[in-house]
Amino acid sequence: MIKHKLKKGYDIKLAGKAEKVLVDAGEVKFYASQPFDYLGLKPRLEVAEGSQVKIGTPLYNNKEMQEIKFVSPASGKVVQINRGERRKIAEVVIESDGRDEAVNFGSYDEKSIENLRSDEIKSQLLKSGMWPLIRQRPFSKIANPALEPRDIFITGMDTAPLVADPEFIMQGEENYFNIGLTILKKLTAGKIFLSLNGAVKEHLPFLVNAPGVEIHEFQGKHPAGNLSVHIHHVAPIKVGDFVWYINAVDVPLLAKFFLSGTYPTERIVCLAGSALKAEARKYYRTRVGVNIQALFNEGDLVQPLVRVITGNVFRGRKIPENGYLGFYNRTLTIIPESKERVLFGWLTPGIDQESFSRTFLSRYFPRDEYVKDTRIHGGKRAFIQTGDYEKVLPMDIYPAYLVKSIMAGEIEDMIGLGLLEVDDEDFALCTYICPSKIDFGEHIRNGLDILEKEG
């Protein structure tokens, strides 16, 4: 195991951690598949309202790569196809019939899996809806099955606030994880890298003993758990390179699919956030695309006005209180919503207000955790280059110069300043501490879109 100790970064100590207790969410009536979960996807429908579907029935495909299917997480009937701005498909909603009938894609035993070729594995993953679990850098989109990656990264850690503990979720998954590794090794001639959290005193044995995998342990403050940081310190991306990546909690799903021949729908989800009562903050066994009303109700909330985020507070997506869990998300975060303005707020001592700068006394008398709401405490203003941005990004990248090169449309400068190595999630802390209220992530995503279009 190779260890990396990172000095840069910043942890926001949010209140509302989930207790590591696993409970069953019970029967759920409605599920949805949401194209917004997949960056840059242009969906083409394969069903209509009223269609009867099984678990694994294709709901839509990718217009640009029609072999990539997105399938139903439940058996029953398509009751709604909701659309958003410019008539984009937002949700395909399925009402479950409770029978759990599933499409059979053909099962394999362990020995047969070891003998499968790369093209056979890709074919099975593509038609079954499993392929979107594998994504690609740069650009963080679903992997292109026509290509062979330089390497594959498995992310086994996350340092964002209130996120699910991947090692808690993977308890008892040893056999499935090892079979999943066998499948991934067939997809690249390069290396398989696994990143683990250095703050964990004792890892799951099957992770640290994973066969044929190069293991790297990262210790430090957020964003030490981000994929970009791992790639940067382990095997940086150069012009012309691309790598694939997958979350460690999703590796066992590959094995479950090949062994059973059916699309695996079970997910363990962490419900967290200071807007939830303590007894509701725990881990729930449920399904992908679940209607979140099955996980909590109004009686579980501390206050009526809340923001529900599928994912974490840095890179999650705001959803309504009757929305659906995102495809990649194992965390549902609920925090207070507020638009109130505090008169002369910056003049108060701020003992209970967490702060990166020395604006409040909390910098000198820190608490173990803070209750934070959705206010940004100010508005956009002139871009002030403070030198603080580099303190929260443990990479050899200058965030302010990179963003300015994107604003100016200078493609060569974007590449030279490291845009191919990063994703918008890596700059969430830069946005958080920015006195100018600049959305760094938005500019980074715009820059990546420009590079992709330019080829």
Spatial separation of the C-alpha atoms in residues 194 and 264, rounded to whole Å: 23
**Of all helices (H) and strands (E), which one includes residue 430?**
helix 428-433
Phi and psi based region of residue 274 (left: phi greater than 0; alpha: psi -120 to 50; beta: remaining): alpha
In this structure, what token pair is assigned to residue 182?
């066998």
The CB-based long-range contact list for 43-48 (8 Å cut-off, 24+ gap) reads 43/70, 43/89, 45/81, 45/89, 45/92, 47/78, 47/92, 48/78, 48/81
**Of all helices (H) and strands (E), which one includes residue 176?**
helix 174-185
Spatial separation of the C-alpha atoms in residues 334 and 16, rounded to whole Å: 9
Spatial separation of the C-alpha atoms in residues 285 and 27, rounded to whole Å: 11
**For the CA atoms of 253, 20, 306, 341, what is the dihedral angle to 10 degrees?**
-120
pLDDT by position in tens, the chain (length 455): 999 999 999 999 999 999 999 999 988 999 999 999 999 999 999 999 999 999 999 999 999 999 999 999 999 999 999 999 888 999 999 999 999 999 999 999 999 999 999 999 999 999 999 999 999 999 999 999 999 999 999 999 999 999 999 999 999 999 999 999 999 999 999 999 999 999 999 999 999 999 999 999 999 999 999 999 999 999 999 999 999 999 999 999 999 999 999 999 999 999 999 999 999 999 999 999 999 999 999 999 999 999 999 999 999 999 999 999 999 999 999 999 987 777 666 667 777 788 888 778 787 788 889 999 998 877 878 888 888 999 999 999 999 999 999 999 999 999 999 999 999 999 999 999 998 999 999 999 999 999 999 87
With CA atoms as reference, report the closest residue to 274 among 346, 352, 351, 198.
352
Spatial separation of the C-alpha atoms in residues 72 and 128, rounded to whole Å: 10
pLDDT of residue 354: 84
In this structure, what token pair is assigned to residue 202?
């004792």
Walk me through the domains of the chain, giving residue ranges and CATH numbers: 1-11+100-337 (no CATH), 30-96 (2.40.50), 377-454 (no CATH)
pLDDT of residue 346: 65
Spatial separation of the C-alpha atoms in residues 24 and 3, rounded to whole Å: 37
pLDDT of residue 379: 80
- Is 322 in a helix, a strand, or coil? coil
Spatial separation of the C-alpha atoms in residues 125 and 129, rounded to whole Å: 6
Whether 400 contacts 385, CB under 8 Å = yes
**Of all helices (H) and strands (E), which one includes residue 3?**
strand 2-5
How does DSSP assign 332-377, residue by residue? EEEEE------TTGGGS--TTS--SSSSSGGGTS--S-B---S--S
pLDDT of residue 359: 76
Backbone angles phi, psi at 227, to 5 degrees: -60, -40
Distance, first Cα to last Cα, the chain: 36
Enter the pTM of the model.
Answer: 0.95
**Of all helices (H) and strands (E), which one includes residue 110?**
helix 110-114
In this structure, what token pair is assigned to residue 5?
């100790």
